[in-house]
Structure 1
Amino acid sequence: MESLSLCRSSSSSILKLQKTIHKNPPNSLQIPVSLSCRLHGNQISSLVYSMASKTPLKPHFSLPILVGFLSSSALPSFASELGDPSGPVSGKINIESILLAIDDFFNKNPFFVAGCAFIYLVVLPLVEEYVKKYKYISAINAFRKLEDDSTAQLLDIRDEKSVNYLGSPNLRILSKEVAQIPYTEADEDRFLKNVMAKFADPKNTVVCILDNLDGNSIKVAELLFKNGFKEAYAIRGGMRGKKGWQDIQQALLPPSVHVYPKKKAKKSQKVNSVSNQPDADQYAITPEN
């Protein structure tokens, strides 16, 4: 009986709404609040179907009528269903919540975050630089390596003109000879072939590369290491640069490995030879009276 009365009330409500629509023009259509309040969620579908099938309204008037009706106070149950938090959870990732969680973690653990940043930015690069088998080395450390390591050798990659002006260090004090092999980037294969011919056992050889400055020494160090040398070091400053071999030799290196320009040496020898000649006045013949 209750369902029968509910159906009757629903049909009567729909008829009243249809009469209201027929009486009022589409532009001024208003749904009585008293009528809309008596409608329940289970009557919405029948009402919408009736409006769509029996109401002689133009299509462009149908959408505003339905929107106005659905947004009225007749749909509290629908609104509660749409806002029900117990519904199915969306599968999309909430980026904002993730960022908030990360920010909250940083705020709660500042020392941990600072420690991780220090390790990543400072410690790891230092360890990598220390472990790396080809890198820059100071001139004094290069000499110490040549002195302490029997497998360490000195490779002079300067061109012939530079070597003629400023010769290679003399390593007789270490019972070693300097390998002079000019490097040109355009003929890298030939350079590598000459180096391999000079050093018979590259996998057990530590090579220190000497250039005029820092120019090509690090390139050669990487090239030789990748082609089988045990270790390869580029002497920082080279021969003539700041803190290079010639710059530190007076203070840090033994005199036997000092390097001086050859032109200057020839000039000094010429001056010494002239000074050692006897004075012409000493052997001048004085006429007899």
Structure 2
Amino acid sequence: MEQRPQAARLLGPAEVRGLAEQLGLRPTKKLGQNFVHDPNTVRRIVDTSEVGPEDVVLEVGPGIGSLTLALLSAAGSVTAVEVDSALAERLPGTVAEHAPALVDNLRVLCADALRLTAEEASAGNGPPTALVANLPYNVAVPVVLHLLAELPSLRHGLVMVQSEVADRMAAGPGGRSYGAPSAKSAWFASVRRAGAVSRNVFWPVPNVDSGLVAFTRREPPSEVPRDRVFAVVEAAFAQRRKTLRSALAGWAGSPARAEELLRAAGIDPAARGEQLSIAEFASVAAAAEQR
């Protein structure tokens, strides 16, 4: 692997708290601000992400910059998206202090990742190829799904999310954790759990543990428009305890129509949504278009 010109000096607990004090920052639950203060955890995240000099990394919620510094040491460049204007303004200065040789490889956007466009994300460093982020727990799934949909250039990534959310994102059909987030994520990528992260490496300490979720982009399982497939997924899991014949009645127009479409797709109307793969959901959507 190509050697970076200089490895960044990573932030420890005292430096994280010191930067927060300089900024007058009181981390808020609303913004999901829990900052990693353990350098070994940060190194493990970057190693597990498998980003390299060829990657343009998109980092959502860089906060004080713990993960940003490690990413700059491994990737070709980093585009950091931060919704907190004070943190966004401070980040380049932190990188200049801890990794002066890498500061030109950083671009900071003060923006909401849920509204980020491909044009905004790609200006400067070019289209992002990898997503690596410590995501706020309350918006983790919507952010990942939005970015995968908006940025086809994203080929792989690793996100740190609440452990329970990690289970849901990576679950396969048939398990208790499998639901709409699992099925929708599978439309875009192969998703897997990639490790656990203790709550004790964060400041402030959250009430839950975290998990790492890795993904690798793949082609969608169907040519049916994504929004039509996702409408079936949402209907199926809105009433997940019901059979698909009942759960899809509102979407299809009636239970009888739902049964007709399910049978046309080769699916038992008595099955439940948690039993279907994303390819099978797409088959139901395709049957609706054809009949």
Q: TM-score, normalised by structure 1?
A: 0.21
Larger Rg belongs to: 1
Tell me which protein shows more helix as a share of its residues. 1
